[in-house]
Amino acid sequence: FEALAQPGIRGLRAYDPGHDLVALRRAAAAPLLELGSNENPYGPSPRARLAAIDALAAAHVYPDPLGGDLKRALARHHGVEAAQVLLGNGSHEVLMQLAQVFAGAGDEVVAAQYGFAVYALAAQAAGATLRLAPALPRDHAMPRGHDLDALRAAITPRTRLVYLANPNNPTGTWYSGAAFEAFLAAVPADVLVVVDEAYAEYVDAPDWASAVPLLARHPNLVVTRTFSKAFALAGLRVGYALAHPGLLAVMERVRESFNVNTPALAAAEAALDDTGHLQASVAANRAQREALAAALRARGVAVAPSQTNFLLAEFGEATARIEAGLRARGVILRPMGGYGLGDCLRITVGTADDNARLLAALDEVMA
Ligand code: PMP
């Protein structure tokens, strides 16, 4: 069927989740410690859980196809109009839809080396040509982070879309608000700039700034967010884009009518409202992230600075052995070979207990 597929789909590799976790869980003697997918170990707001359960009473009717209540809540939260919010089945869907709508054969899409894998998938599936801008060097203060000058230089008259992530997955690195404003000012107005802020709620770096306030002045800007990370609703699949109402009106044409389900809509709205739960999760993550980074560095492992709920750690030539050794001990990390980072593992920051178990296993494997 390869030959029957559209040119952009031919030769494309499906998104690689790392491991077959269901098979690993089934085979494991004890519960796995799953630190491979940047999930939030503190779990969702209890209010979000109750809202999802309550919503199941209406499981026999279709969800609100417009997601109006959640859009209005998000609009209030971000200080934008409800018409500036597009909901997706996870932000993954929104990211794919952007390329589907705005790029095609003969067009170019720019993304960064070591940028999130979905951008390349979206561009290629849309039939567009992907141009990867080189990342910052490994010895930079933001190792392998986005190089905004290189991204700008990769833009050509054929470029329709640029994807950036701030902070970025899998590097954990970020760029400053000031640097982004200068970048955006230099991008032609007919090139859409998509800033993926999936980890925004975790950030406290003083030089970071959300791109959301820039929407008012830049109709070519799109900001994506998700409920999968700090809001801990990855299993319910809710993400969204914030952009100019006219841009989103075009995207609405190809959105599956009921793409966000009823429990997901209800849970997301409740989670957004439970700021106490969010703040507790974010604070716990920050403390554990810094403690884990320090513990890894004390073991001679280079760790990139991170404003997210994960760390990119360099294990050098021993990487594959360490990953397999940890897996044999029930600790799942994310191998990075797919990103061309075969000497690194990406580690989701767990709870204090999770991180103690990880470090104990690591000490055995590294001994
Ligand atoms: N963007 C980034 C940078 C991510 O790391 C992820 C999830 N790993 C996503 C988007 C997609 O998340 P979701 O579809 O769950 O919203």
Q: Which residues pair with 6 in a beta bridge?
A: none
Q: Which of 105, 76, 75, 99 is nearest to 87 (CA)?
A: 75
CA of 95 to the centre of ligand 1 (A): 9
Average pLDDT over residues 191-220: 98
With vertex at residue 160, the alpha carbon angle to CA 154 and CA 161, rounded to the nearest 5 degrees, is 75
d(CA 185, CA 151): 13
Note the pLDDT tens digit of each residue in 33-89: 999 999 999 999 999 999 999 999 999 999 999 999 999 999 999 999 999 999 999
Kindly give the distance from the C-alpha atom of residue 233 to the centroid of ligand 1, in angstroms, as a whole number: 12
Q: What band does 178 get if pLDDT is binned at 50, 70 and 90?
A: very high
β-sheet bridge partners, residue 133:
112
Nearest protein CA to atom 6 of ligand 1, as residue: 198
**Token pair 């890894």: residue:** 296
Q: What is the rounded distance in angstroms from the CA atom of residue 338 to the CA atom of residue 254? A: 30
Predicted confidence at residue 19, as pLDDT, reads 82
One-character DSSP codes across 220-266 = TEEEEEESSSTT--GGG--EEEEE-HHHHHHHHTTS-TT-S-HHHHH
The residue type of 357 is R
The model's pLDDT over 14-29, given as tens digits with 9 standing for 90+, comes to 877 778 889 999 988 8
CA 92 – ligand 1 centroid, Å: 6
Q: Could you tell me the two tokens for 27?
A: 């085979």
CB 302 within 8 A of CB 290: no
- Residue ranges and CATH numbers for the domains of the chain are 2-44+276-366 (3.90.1150.10), 46-274 (3.40.640.10)
Work out the number of other CB atoms within 10 angstroms of the CB of residue 234: 17
N-terminal to C-terminal alpha carbon distance within the chain: 49
Give the global pTM.
0.97
- Pocket lining: 198 vs ligand 1, CB cutoff 6 Å: yes
pLDDT (tens digit, 9 = 90+) per residue, 248-291?
999 999 999 999 999 999 999 999 999 999 999 999 999 999 99
- Rounded to whole angstroms, the Cα distance separating 184 from 209 reads 13
* 3-state DSSP assignment of residue 290: helix
Q: Which residues pair with 253 in a beta bridge?
A: none
Q: Which two tokens stand for residue 213?
A: 């306030």
- Give the distance (Å) from ligand 1 centre to CA of residue 142: 20
41 cis-preceded (ω within 30 degrees of 0): no
For the Cβ of 90 lying below 6 angstroms from any atom of ligand 1, the answer is yes
Q: Tokens 């989701």: give the residue.
A: 348
Quote the CA–CA distance of 11 and 8 in Å, as a whole number. 8
pLDDT band at 176 (very low <50, low <70, confident <90, very high): very high
The answer to whether the CB of 175 falls within 8 A of the CB of 146 is yes
State the amino acid at position 12 in one-letter form. Answer: L
The DSSP secondary-structure symbol of 171 reads T
Amino acid in position 75: A
**Residue 277, CA distances (Å) to 54, 76, 170, 216, 355 in order:** 20, 19, 26, 30, 21
ipTM: 0.99
Between the CA of 91 and the centroid of ligand 1 the distance, in Å, is 6
Q: What angle do CA 93, 94, 99 make, to 5 degrees?
A: 100
Q: Is the CB of 327 under 6 A from ligand 1?
A: no
